[in-house]
Amino acid sequence: MTEMTASGCSESSCGSTADQLSHLPEHIREKVHNHPCYSEQAHHHFARMHVAVAPACNIQCNYCNRKYDCANESRPGVVSELLTPEQAIKKTLVVASEIPQMTVLGIAGPGDPLANPERTFQTFQALSETAPDIKLCVSTNGLALPEHVEELSKHNIDHVTITINCLDPEIGAKIYPWIFWKNRRIKGVKGAKILIEQQQKGLEMLTEKGILVKVNSVMIPGVNDKHLAEVSKVVKSKGAFLHNIMPLIAEAEHGTYYGIMEQLGPTQAELKELQDACEGDMNMMRHCRQCRADAVGLLGEDRGSEFTLDKIEAMEIDYSSAMEKRKVVHDNIAAELARKEEEKAQGVQFVSLDSLRKTAKPKPQLRSVLMAVATQGGGIINQHFGHAKEFLIYEVASDNVKLIGHAKTDQYCSGNNTCGDGETVLQKLIRSLDGCEVVLSAKIGYEPWEQLEEAGIIPNSEHAMEPIEEALLAVHKEMAESGALEEKTEAGLRATA
């Protein structure tokens, strides 16, 4: 048992409003507290990796292209090197030793893990024996799930992600052109209907066994966007723990059906609106980075190139000593998180609940502000503006900070003297931050500073190396005090003390 859970609390009234895990029972917190894909807080500190041992697939999705071999794309289903189970086991042990904060090993493709049961389970079995300190998880389209639930529960796999895009076979036929089922290829509505039934059955069987299920859904405007709120309700009622609605990625150069047919993905605002709408019913995941099936590192980073086959084959691993080192690292992170949680809890205690209730009615309606943050992990503002590969987007209110998504970017500064087409990259980046009023980074150059200001975004590097949430609240407070949040506020403002 880690210190983090020891100091945790299973009451929903405890902990900050920003902590999506605070309402969970203790045994689930214990399972997810260091899983970057299940806990938003964990994703700042703990890393994951995927091993690409599962090339075969039993269905076709219109957002996927099975010619998956591309080094420069970052999206699900893409890998550079297919691994044998033996290679995957070695790679996992190497990465776990080199990146001790790596807590999770997932098999997510590039096909469907359960369409490659021998390769998948051979990998899981060896790792559950050699590396019991690594969490194992699997991501599946669900078609072959019911027949494998028993086996999954044997290998210490307590996190399963099912991609469920619809409950209606008519909608399904627009997403899945065919499935392979009982030795036949079945197209259209008939195939989609079988897939949907298998997904739902698999979900029920897993939750019955106490295995944590996350449901991923791809939001495809005009296809399933109006339908996903219903999906969210149903999967929650069947015991899914977390719902991750992801935007469709569709580019013609990926060669996918949706890419070539110019199907549009949702805008950031459309995605957020749907996630907000589902949130009343379901615990929503908003920090997903839609990573590759061979990604390595913290979410949002990919250190896969440090661990190519030729490199890992040359390395010797003493896993039992690595495990000791890993335990120290994990305990330190857990202690740090526990300390932060305690500080937060103490902060809350300064104001009694009663006094809040009394004054809460005419609460001043200071508007919330979107802010972008450059971080390289640790929950700290510790990335240089020009070196950021992505920005986390937070919605900040006077008493609450909520991660709502991220903006990916080409790095605008490559770190040397020649800036190439740096200006256009910068312009593109600024466009992707549209809607944000503040950008916080550890440092920022003079030129981007000017251009951000021109675009109406305030650059801020005063909170370098500070924890993200605290810094964002401080900035919101400064904005409130300077009157910057009053223009759009509604009547309630008069009630301010």
Site for another protein in 246-305 (CB under 8 A): 252, 255, 257, 260-261
Q: Which is nearer to another protein, 84 or 496 (CB)?
A: 84
Q: Is 66 in the site for another protein (CB under 8 A)?
A: yes
Q: 């190439």: which residue's tokens?
A: 420
How many residues make contact with another protein (CB under 8 A)? 26
Min CB(51)–another protein separation in Å: 15
Q: Which is nearer to another protein, 170 or 423 (CB)?
A: 170
Q: What is the CA radius of gyration of the chain?
A: 23
The single-letter code of the amino acid at 422 is: G
Residues 178 and 185 sit within 8 Å (Cβ to Cβ):
yes
Min CB(55)–another protein separation in Å: 4
Nearest in space to 218 (alpha carbons), one of 159, 281, 263: 263
Q: Is 218 in the site for another protein (CB under 8 A)?
A: no
Among 38, 46, 68, 121, binds another protein (CB under 8 A): 68
Min CB(157)–another protein separation in Å: 22
Q: Is 51 in the site for another protein (CB under 8 A)?
A: no
Q: Which is nearer to another protein, 257 or 319 (CB)?
A: 257
Q: Is 445 in the site for another protein (CB under 8 A)?
A: no
Segment near another protein (CB under 8 A), from 53-61, 198-206, 382-390, 440-448?
53-61
Omega cis (within 30) before 110: yes
Q: Which is nearer to another protein, 118 or 487 (CB)?
A: 118
Segment near another protein (CB under 8 A), from 56-64, 194-202, 306-314, 381-389?
56-64
Nearest in space to 255 (alpha carbons), one of 55, 69, 107, 83: 69
C-alpha distances out from residue 129 to 132, 136, 150, 293, Å: 6, 12, 18, 23
- CA 8 to centroid of chain Cα atoms: 22
Tell me, residue by residue from 156 to 195, as one string, x for binding to another protein by CB under 8 A and - for no binding: ---------------------xx-x--xxx----------
Residues 385 and 443 sit within 8 Å (Cβ to Cβ):
yes
Pairing assessment for the beta strands 157-163 and 438-440 based on DSSP bridges:
unpaired
Q: Cβ neighbours of residue 330 under 8 Å, at least 6 residues apart? A: 2, 34, 100, 101, 103, 133
Segment near another protein (CB under 8 A), from 13-21, 64-72, 193-201, 373-381?
64-72
3-state DSSP call for residue 52? coil
Q: Which is nearer to another protein, 188 or 445 (CB)?
A: 188
Q: Which is nearer to another protein, 256 or 460 (CB)?
A: 256
Q: Is 94 in the site for another protein (CB under 8 A)?
A: no
Q: Which is nearer to another protein, 61 or 131 (CB)?
A: 61
Contacts 24+ apart (CB under 8 A), 304-312: 304/80, 306/98, 307/91, 307/94, 307/95, 307/98, 308/80, 308/81, 309/81, 309/83, 309/87, 309/91, 312/87, 312/90, 312/91, 312/94
Segment near another protein (CB under 8 A), from 32-40, 52-60, 92-100, 410-418?
52-60
The single-letter code of the amino acid at 128 is: S
Q: Which is nearer to another protein, 144 or 285 (CB)?
A: 144
Q: Which is nearer to another protein, 116 or 123 (CB)?
A: 116
Q: Which is nearer to another protein, 187 or 201 (CB)?
A: 187
Q: Which is nearer to another protein, 133 or 251 (CB)?
A: 251
Q: Where are the beta strands (DSSP E) in 414-483?
A: 438-440, 458-460
d(CA 108, CA 130): 21
Q: 């806990």: which residue's tokens?
A: 39
Among 82, 126, 131, 249, binds another protein (CB under 8 A): 82
Q: What is the DSSP string of 131-193?
A: -TTSEEEEEE-STT-GGGHHHHHHTTEEEEEEE---S-HHHHTTT-SEEEETTEEEEHHHHHH
d(CA 472, CA 401): 7
Among 60, 101, 432, 441, binds another protein (CB under 8 A): 60
Segment near another protein (CB under 8 A), from 51-59, 137-145, 348-356, 359-367?
51-59
Min CB(217)–another protein separation in Å: 22
Site for another protein in 110-129 (CB under 8 A): 111, 115-116, 118
d(CA 86, CA 176): 32
Segment near another protein (CB under 8 A), from 50-58, 207-215, 335-343, 453-461?
50-58
Min CB(465)–another protein separation in Å: 46
- CA 253 to centroid of chain Cα atoms: 25
Q: Which is nearer to another protein, 11 or 310 (CB)?
A: 310
Residues making contact with another protein (CB under 8 A): 55-58, 60, 62, 66-69, 82, 111, 115-116, 118, 177-178, 180, 183-185, 252, 255, 257, 260-261
